[in-house]
Amino acid sequence: MLRHPLNIGIDIGHHSVKAVVLSQKKERLELVAFTEAVLPASVINDQHSVNTPALLSVIRQLKKSLPFGASRVVLALPDSAVINKVIQIDTNLSDEEAEFAVTQALSASAPFPVEELWFDFYPLTLDAMASTAIVPYQIIAARRDTIDSRIAAIRKAGLKPRVVELQTHALLWIAAHTIEHSVLHEQWGIVDIGKCCTEFCVKPPGAAAYHRELAFGTRYIDKTVGGDTDAISVFTSSQAEAAQFTQQLAEQLRRQLQLYNSTHSRSQIKGIWLSGGGQHVVVDELLERLLNIEVQWMNPFRHLPCSKKLGEIAENSFYSQYAVATGLALRGMAA
């Protein structure tokens, strides 16, 4: 009997590494495992590269909680670590000529030498444009060290990296999964609150995804305990601190919602899901009042039946910090 391989989504954040394992059981996806391990300080630098030995240690610790046989991994890069560019390419070019055109475009605009980049490109052509001579191509590039340092840690831990995605795409995967299974007909966005930044993204029907990265995160309210060499960040806050953080978050999001709604009048946002590690520093009821739209915490496991080993734990609790990892695991199932 053929067994479907297990797929792991691994989200490497500034605070911790999170993993979610999914499997295919007949006509449905099943949540098999999820786990989180806190990172030591200074694992990720300002250029988004990671300290491979330190990350490897955490991945090995994480692997102990994963089911036997789980090895296929989908990773994500923060959008700020990626160069996104659209160029026009002649449809009559060969694959080699198209790649040369992409290389030339990156050489002219990228802040790094093209030799230091890994890149991919694909046409954005609709069927109706198939006969045109010039078509737009999406280029996605990132520094080799940014990708290679993560891949090295994953491989040394005995896992098999298969896809490197954008964090925004992972969020949109879990949002689409939630919309599909909750029969939601209104336009919702998703806000992922991280330690160093907050991601806001939404996928309006028939249009490109809308994404903004905000330089605002939970580090503004973190408590740090322990010495300089063994410090641990814990997300705790007083009621007043949580209210202040929520008001600051609302100010950041209000501008983004106004900008999005002004350019997407036919797909106005009616609500947002909150994800990430801000459960203890964001007051969702207050945020809802301040933004005047519906606000809910994302439970990425709500529409994923659990294995017997997990029981009902994942369905009856909030695990919004696993949204990116779950989106990546969903991406792995679709690959």
Q: What's the pLDDT tens digit per position in 183-242?
A: 778 899 999 998 888 999 999 988 888 999 998 888 767 543 333 333 334 445 578 888
Q: What is the pLDDT of residue 208?
A: 84
Question: Is pLDDT above 80 for 264?
Answer: yes
**Amino acid 227: pLDDT:** 37
Every domain of the chain with CATH number 3.30.420.40 lies at: 6-80+147-332
**Could you tell me where in the chain the CATH 3.30.1490.300 domains are found?**
81-146
> What integer is the mean pLDDT of 82-86?
90
- Average pLDDT of the residues in 68-83: 92
At position 211, the amino acid (one-letter code) is H
The residues pairing with 75 across neighbouring beta strands, listed in sequence order, are 10, 164
Measured CA to CA, the distance from residue 152 to residue 212 in angstroms comes to 29
> What pLDDT was estimated at residue 280?
82
15 CA to centre of own chain:
14
Q: In the prediction, which pLDDT does 162 show?
A: 94
Q: What is the CATH number of domain 81-146?
A: 3.30.1490.300
Asked if CATH classification 3.30.420.40 holds for the domain at 6-80+147-332, the reply, yes or no, is yes
Lowest mean pLDDT among 76-85, 179-188, 285-294: 179-188
Q: Could you count the other beta carbons within 10 Å of the beta carbon of residue 328?
A: 31
Question: Is a pLDDT exceeding 90 seen at residue 72?
Answer: yes
pLDDT at 128: 42
What average pLDDT does this structure show over 132-151? Answer: 90
Cα dihedral across residues 304, 170, 320, 206: positive or negative: negative
- Please give the full DSSP string across 211-269, using - where no structure is assigned: EEEES--GGGT-EEES-SSS-EEE----HHHHHHHHHHHHHHHHHHHHHHHHH-TTS-E
**DSSP secondary structure of 69-137:** T--EEEEEE-GGGEEEEEEEEETT--HHHHHHHHHHHHHHH-SS-GGGEEEEEEE---GGGTT-SEEEE
pLDDT computed for residue 304 by the predictor: 87
